[in-house]
Chain A
Amino acid sequence: MRYLPLTGDDRAAMLAAIGAASVDDLFADVPVAARLPGPVDLPHHLGEWEVENSIGAMAAKNRHSGIMASFLGAGAYRHHVPASVDHLIQRSEFLTSYTPYQPEIAQGTLQYLFEFQTQVALLTGMEVANASMYDGSTACGEAVEMARRVTGRNRVVLSGNLHPHYAEVVKTLGALHDTAIEQPAPAPAGEGDLAPVIDQATAAVVVQYPDVFGHIRDYSALARAAQAAGALLVVVVTEVVSLGALVPPGAMGADIVVGEGQGLGVGLNYGGPYLGLFATRQKYVRQMPGRLCGETVDAEGRRGFVLTLSTREQHIRREKATSNICTNSGLCSLAFTIHLSLLGEAGLTHLAALNHARAVEAAERLAAIPGVTLATPAFFNEFTLKLDRDAAAVVEALVGKGILAGVPGARLWPGQAALADHLVVAVTETNTPAEIQGFAAALAEVLA
């Protein structure tokens, strides 16, 4: 076995040093009835070439975004990741290191986490950010839990236009604490004002920006209404590139901003690993979940970085911790940080403008097709089309033409007939003008 260095002679010599007759002796504490008499019923070991062949064959069965023209979004976005990002994150010292609990020999990880936290704070317009969560949806769940702690209240208002998976995560956690959760039905043409739903028992109001259909709107008034009632406004951003073009949620008065950072550096990966972003106000920092990296000095007075405020965390506080989270998305936060460092201010704003322009071109072209209406007048790089028929069937027909047309309503809201004719379409810099034209022509053909 290529990964196991010990030889038969090594094993014999080691057993002799231990004073054991066989390795089985070392397992003597295992109840006899629970010891497997022989190997389990699975295949024997394979060489690299064989493993590559069999797993490569599975990969080859997927019709992925590279070989299809993809307009899929709804929480995961295809952006070009520069080659240097993947090269750098595969450096042994990043890839194969542990959580930086020994800061003297983990300054590499700690410094990039400090940079990451700064970048997330700048993008969201918030004062502080943590060192990452698992993904956007779990960050959203944690934001609601944090709002419950901060306010001591147990009622939550969710926008109907919050990504349904995110809402389901909040509901899963809320069920543990009998949290009262109010959520209006999804409103593809744009949601009404949530302020009237806020009351004196409300811990948090959760909205998405851009929302799941792609609508963008100003939440400043909602922030004021929430805060007047003693509640926190949580803003969810699933497409982080949008923050290169849009007024940041912090400028609208958000108390917590959570997001999915996958769009920068990480890739699609069929849903994971992804990167949860979590930012808030300085005054709430001791209520935050997850790891935080802070600046300090070493014994010689040189600047250095450490994990800090760990009295919030499970390994110190155990049952009194703010969350049970331990492992986060370290390497994904590195990919994000490198990609954003490569883009810089000029690159990110250019990338965001390009995404918006391509999306506007696509939306106008598609909405001109008979049977298609644009449901989202203001959007960033994702919009919703109302079709004159079931969108899932249209998507399936377009698969046959080499196009992943978007996410149909039935996929996001199974069983909700009113949304079945809606199609959520995302357009990024990876969609060429020719692809957009091809999509429009194919959709017109299918709907004709």
Chain B
Amino acid sequence: MMNRQGRPTAPGTNAAAKVDTVLGHRGLDHEEALIFEQGQAGRSGVDLPPVPAVQSRLGNLARQGGIGLPGLSEPQVVRHYVRLSRRNYAIDMGLYPLGSCTMKHNPRLNEKLARLPGFADLHPLAPLSTVAGAVELMGTLAHWLKVLTGMPAVALSPKAGAHGELCGIIAIRAAHVARGEGETRTRILVPESAHGTNPATAAYCGFAVDPVPATADGRVDLAALKAKLGPDVAAIMLTNPNTCGLFERDIREIADAVHGVGGYFYCDGANFNAIVGRVRPGDLGVDAMHINLHKTFSTPHGGGGPGSGPVVLSAALAPFAPLPWVVETEGGFELAEAAAGASFGRLTAFHGQMGMYVRALAYMYSHGADGLAQASSDAVLAANYIQARLADVMTAAFEGPCMHEALFDDRFLKDTGVTTLDFAKAMIDEGYHPMTMYFPLVVHGAMLIEPTESESRESLDEFIAVMRRLAEAAQAGEVERFTGAPHYAPRRRLDETAAARKPVLRWTPPPAAKAAE
């Protein structure tokens, strides 16, 4: 059908055919060269005042020859990074169902407050007389974390979750050393379903890692755990709710059993967001637990960081906490930086992730005690809703209600020719980031879905409809839809094997340019 100007009014039959564009762009999706492949010598995107003439004090250490950086003006740089940004998925664009990673909404108020010059333009070694507000913020955050966890102390400085694990395990080691058991406490128990950081942290600290099997219902096998206990056990590292998205029913028995042989209970707090305001880890027998401020308290993931991993500590471990720490005084708060007592020392320069503390406290203030509990409830409700609505077309890994994430295995894909990976890549074509897959390791072809409390019911229903349709398509033999996916992303599947076999980890000038140097 043509209109009166002779233009077609509906897509032609050829609309789906691929057109080779001149520059490889596809409409709004621009191909973008590396910054090193752009620019001209002598161009800059920054104007600076002239350099005063002085007698150099660099001596023979003044740099000779160029660095190799390209020169670009501000509009070029802005366009380059805007174009790159458009090749990313983001929580601001859609549901991001990464189980265990907790991709919840990142409030912009928190960004605004972290950028107040009173925080952002404050030097970490500024005289303590000039930083009262910063110390007050740290002390207030510490107070909220202690109340929410029911624990008496907190070390704020760890830079991320895994750094918090390191903090907790070093504190546990220090406590054993202080009791004269440093040489004999050599083993740490880690469930098979644990995050990779748990065994990595234990091994990094010099401990032998002893795996604890799971029961058929996805929880720690208490009998098997008890059989492994002995005077050489330094600790257990346990995630609760666990990585299967389940609450460890025997948690207090586990804590008692570990304490019974003189060991400590390290809790991986990656999933604390399921229970904030409803359950306090301090009531479960926990001795140390890191809190991922970038998961539970909404600081942005930023494409892989920065995170922040404060560690709450029991009375038994508190004396060994790293420097610096905030001391609550009658008049307010003070910062203690110098070595004192049994502290195991420093984990990092300065005081930790101040920018993240501001964001996390803003999130806490915004939610309040009531909102934090409601957020946990909604996160658990949303995950159970997904599990219930998908139960007939996908296969839930375990019976019964889950916590904040729903875990499926790949039985529903049996004999379809479609793998968990294929299924995940097909989700990309549908406009979603895939869920966490092949983790936890204890479930075959695992698909771990965490919707978080940030999703509306309409959004959840849409997601459920897509997942149902994909499951049906896999069972109906529409294999290419999956094995060829993604079809509609800025890139098709990438050759990761080639990348690892012959690693190219940086740009180097093409041979012609090298010859010209």
Cβ of B176 within 8 Å of any chain A Cβ, yes or no, is no
Cβ-based interface call for B405 (8 A): no
CB distance from A297 to the nearest CB of B (A): 6
Q: Given A51-B366, A114-B506, A171-B345, answer yes or no on A298-B127 (Cβ-Cβ < 8 Å).
A: no
Does A272 interact with chain B (Cβ within 8 Å)? yes
Count of interface residues, chain B, beta-carbon cutoff 8 Å? 206
Measured CB to CB, the nearest residue on chain A to B459 is A5
Any chain A CB within 8 A of the CB of B116? Answer: yes
Q: Nearest B residue to A115 by beta-carbon distance?
A: B35
Q: A26, B306: Cβ atoms under 8 Å?
A: no
CB neighbours of A93 from chain B (8 A): 85-90, 92-93
Nearest CB of chain A from residue B309's CB, rounded to whole Å: 8
Chain A residues whose C-beta falls within 8 Å of the C-beta of B70 in the assembled complex: 341, 344-345
Told that A19-B388, A54-B365, A165-B350 touch, could you supply 15 new A-B pairs with CB distance under 8 A? A50-B365, A75-B349, A84-B77, A89-B302, A93-B86, A104-B425, A111-B87, A135-B350, A246-B61, A270-B351, A272-B159, A293-B505, A314-B199, A315-B195, A348-B69
A82 and B61 contact, Cβ closer than 8 Å, known pairs A29-B246, A314-B200, A324-B200:
no
Name the contact of B368 in the complex, choosing from A35, A42, A90, A291 (C-beta under 8 A): A42
CB distance from A348 to the nearest CB of B (A): 6
The contact of B46 among A46, A52, A82, A127, by CB within 8 Å, is A82
**Once the chains bind, are A36 and B44 in contact (CB under 8 Å)?**
no
A439 to chain B, nearest CB (A): 15
The interface stretch among B2-10, B277-285, B407-415 is B277-285
Given contacts A55-B362, A299-B492, contact A247 B134 (CB under 8 A): no
Asked if B506 and A104 make an inter-chain contact with CB atoms under 8 angstroms apart, the answer reads no
C-alpha gap A271/B74 in the complex (Å)? 28
Is B84 in contact with A107, judged by CB distance below 8 angstroms?
Answer: yes
Complex contact B34–A111 (CB within 8 A) = yes
Rounded to whole angstroms, the CA-CA distance of A17 and B388 in the bound complex is 7
Asked whether, in the complex, the Cβ of A318 is within 8 Å of the Cβ of B199, the reply is: yes
B498–A297 touching, CB < 8 Å: yes
Kindly count the residue-residue contacts between A and B in the assembled complex, taking CB atoms under 8 Å apart. 714
Interface contact A346-B41, CB-CB below 8 Å: yes
Q: Which residues of A contact B78 (CB under 8 A)?
A: 84, 87-88
Chain A residues whose CB sits within 8 angstroms of the CB of B106 once the complex forms: 95-96
Kindly supply a per-residue 1/0 record for chain A positions 261-301, scoring 1 wherever the CB is within 8 Å of any chain B CB and 0 otherwise. Answer: 00000011111111000000000010000011111111110
Say whether B147 contacts A40, CB under 8 Å. yes
B67-89 vs A: 1/0 string, CB under 8 Å? 11111101001101110111111
Per the bound structure, the CA–CA distance linking A117 and B385 in Å amounts to: 43
List residues of chain B with CB within 8 A of the CB of A91.
81-82, 85
Bound state CA distance, A355 and B399, in angstroms?
A: 64
Q: How far is the CA of A217 from the CA of B61 in the complex (A)?
A: 7
Write out the residue numbers on chain A whose beta carbons fall within 8 Å of the beta carbon of B366. Answer: 2-3, 45-46, 48, 51
- Which are the 3 A-B pairs with shortest beta-carbon distances? A59-B118, A271-B350, A331-B302
Task: For residue B307, give the distance in angstroms from its CB to the closest CB of chain A.
Answer: 4
Which residue in chain A gives the minimum CB-CB distance to B49? A354
Can you report 28 residue pairs joining A to B where beta carbons are below 8 Å apart?
A3-B367, A4-B454, A5-B457, A23-B381, A42-B147, A42-B368, A45-B367, A58-B118, A70-B123, A96-B106, A98-B98, A172-B347, A273-B159, A273-B355, A295-B505, A296-B498, A297-B495, A297-B498, A311-B500, A314-B200, A315-B195, A317-B196, A318-B196, A330-B304, A334-B303, A347-B45, A357-B52, A378-B61
**Residue of B43, B96, B434 touching A344 (CB-CB under 8 A):** B43
Q: Which residue of A lies closest to B367 (CB)?
A: A45
In the assembled complex, B58 has its CB within 8 A of some CB on chain A:
yes
Please encode chain A, from 56 to 73, with 1 for each CB lying within 8 Å of some chain B CB and 0 for all others.
Answer: 111111111111101010
> B301 on the interface (CB 8 Å rule)?
yes
Nearest Cβ on chain B to A278's Cβ, whole angstroms: 12
Report B59 CB to chain A, min CB distance, Å: 5
B506 touches A169 (CB 8 A): no
Q: In chain B, what residue has the closest Cβ to A71?
A: B123
**In the assembled complex, how far is the CB of residue A48 from the closest CB belonging to chain B, in whole angstroms?**
5
Across the interface, which residues of A come within 8 angstroms of B48, CB to CB? 347, 350-351, 354, 429
Does A43 sit within 8 A of B, measured CB to CB? yes
Contact A327 B303, beta carbon cutoff 8 Å: no
Judge whether A134 and B163 touch: CB under 8 Å. yes
- Using known A-B contacts A64-B122, A330-B305, determine if residue A137 contacts B127 with beta carbons closer than 8 Å: no
